[in-house]
């Protein structure tokens, strides 16, 4: 019988490498200490925003917190006054504050949503025009303004224990079934290099805006607030350097509701957040296809720690990763349940390289797939740019259940390389491995249903 790439064959090969319990796999691994020392240096060196210590109460500018009165212009006036004075904290006190239109932040501004404050955005898309410069699923364009938007800024914060609400009755939520033509048109424009000024997706188009987008920024803090009813991606950092996302509660379950998207950004810390999302909890990205490659801004130096994650996927890298991703560290997170605990995505239009990824100390409940590399989606636009994923280490996991422990589909031209699973215990799995195009896949103290697996495997 000729061997094929089936689960049964892969399982047999792996179990043939099983060593006796107590082998030397638990010894300190060279380089591991340096990896996590680098992660701690990233955290230490992130610069905090500088916000002057003065408050601008929105009620002083005419805002009314009754949930019915449109306070958009009053809040905007408070932001403008603080900006004119050199910055400060714009405060929404206890109450329900309606904004029929987006809030655009400026440098040295902190938007503070106090405990007991509920900021709810109006439901009419027309209020989110004129179009602004944004990035939509990895391609730059002009589109509907994110509900909270900051562009070309430094020293910006959104804080407070209140609620930021995209509005359950927003018309944006109905656009998921109307967007396909615009999605394909924008992707083609990015792939073909159509000039940015011609990528206009305002009135008459249906690309949903992000809830919060920080675009081209330095020194950003997002802290403590709760988000609900986002129309699209929730906390989206684009071209942002030195950012902290801390203490958020994200409870939003619409399509494409990623909790945090780190998009072509560097020196980012994401910690102590709770995610209950309609899509991935935390995603790292860097642009789509030719547009992402031409811009060429990677995401790097990202630390994600001490988060409670519950979404369709826990963490993801890609699929928009054409500008590259490197030096990303996930540590001490809890993942609840969903489709994939850890997912890596790419297709043959992308290009880009994802490397030096470290994932450790995860407590994982039940997922359909524990670790999933889907890197060989066919190119939708006829590209021949296979993504490169390499130098990835998973270590010290405790897993209750995974229908499939490890699934890998690498491109023929760029197989997945140099991946290590170390000190991982899985109580139950139905399918240990599904592998296609991987080299230097190392198992070091992996225990599946009481049986230990060690060894290195190449599967082409």
pLDDT at 29: 60
Cβ-contact 124, 174 below 8 angstroms: no
Residue closest to 333 by CA, chosen among 360, 310, 358, 306: 306
139-143 β-sheet, strand order: 132-136, 139-143, 200-201
Question: What six digits make up the tokens of 236?
Answer: 């989206």
pLDDT at 11: 45
Series of mean pLDDT values for 10-residue runs along the chain (460 residues): 36 40 42 89 98 98 98 98 98 98 98 98 98 98 99 98 98 98 98 97 98 98 98 98 98 97 98 96 97 98 97 91 98 95 94 97 96 88 91 97 97 95 97 96 96 93
Q: What separation in angstroms does the CA of 366 have from each of 244, 313, 406?
A: 29, 11, 14
pLDDT at 30: 55
pLDDT at 10: 44
pLDDT at 383: 82
Domain range list for the chain: 55-173+185-459
Fold of 55-173+185-459: Pectate Lyase C-like (2.160.20)
pLDDT at 33: 79
Cis peptide before 319 (omega within 30 of 0): yes
pLDDT at 39: 97
Taking the model in full, what pTM does it have?
A: 0.94
């Amino acid at each position: 019988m000729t061997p094929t790439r089936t689960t049964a064959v892969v399982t047999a090969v792996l179990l043939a490498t099983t060593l006796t319990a107590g082998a030397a796999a638990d010894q300190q691994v060279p380089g591991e200490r340096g990896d996590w020392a680098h992660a701690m240096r990233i955290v230490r060196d992130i610069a905090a925003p500088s916000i002057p210590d003065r408050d601008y109460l929105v009620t002083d500018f005419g805002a009314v917190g009754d949930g019915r009165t449109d306070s958009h212009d009053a809040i905007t006036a408070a932001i403008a006054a603080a900006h004119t004075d050199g910055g400060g904290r714009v405060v929404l006190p206890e109450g329900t504050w309606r904004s029929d239109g987006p809030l655009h932040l400026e440098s040295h501004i902190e938007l503070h949503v106090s405990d007991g404050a509920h900021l709810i955005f109006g439901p009419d898309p027309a209020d989110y025009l004129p179009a602004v410069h944004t990035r939509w699923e990895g391609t730059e364009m002009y589109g509907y303004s994110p509900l909270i938007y900051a562009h070309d800024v430094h020293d910006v914060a959104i804080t407070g224990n209140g609620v930021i609400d995209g509005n359950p009755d927003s018309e944006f939520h109905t656009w998921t079934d109307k967007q396909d033509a615009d999605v394909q048109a924008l992707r083609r424009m990015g792939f073909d290099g159509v000039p940015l000024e011609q990528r206009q997706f305002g009135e008459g188009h249906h690309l949903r805006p992000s809830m919060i987008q920080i675009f081209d920024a330095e020194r950003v803090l997002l802290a403590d607030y709760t988000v609900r009813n986002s129309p699209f991606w929730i906390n989206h950092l684009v071209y942002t350097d030195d950012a902290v996302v801390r203490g958020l509660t994200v409870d939003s379950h619409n399509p494409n509701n990623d909790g945090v998207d780190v998009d072509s950004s560097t020196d980012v810390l994401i910690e102590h957040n709770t995610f209950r999302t309609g899509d991935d909890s935390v995603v790292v990205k860097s642009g789509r296809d030719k547009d992402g490659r031409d811009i060429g801004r990677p995401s790097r130096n990202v630390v994600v720690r001490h988060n409670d994650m519950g979404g369709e996927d826990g963490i993801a890298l890609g699929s928009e990763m054409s500008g590259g991703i490197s030096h990303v560290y996930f540590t001490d997170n809890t993942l609840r349940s969903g489709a994939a605990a850890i997912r890596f995505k790419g297709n043959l239009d992308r290009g880009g390289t994802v490397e030096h990824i470290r994932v450790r100390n995860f407590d994982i409940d039940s997922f359909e797939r524990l670790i999933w590399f889907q890197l060989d989606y066919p190119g939708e636009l006829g590209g021949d740019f296979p993504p490169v994923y390499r130098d990835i280490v998973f270590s010290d996991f405790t897993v209750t259940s995974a229908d499939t422990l490890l699934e890998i589909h690498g491109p023929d031209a760029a197989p997945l390389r140099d991946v290590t699973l170390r000190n991982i215990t899985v109580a139950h799995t139905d399918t240990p491995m599904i592998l296609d195009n991987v080299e230097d896949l190392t198992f070091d103290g992996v225990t599946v249903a009481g049986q230990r697996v060690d060894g290195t495997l190449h599967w082409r």
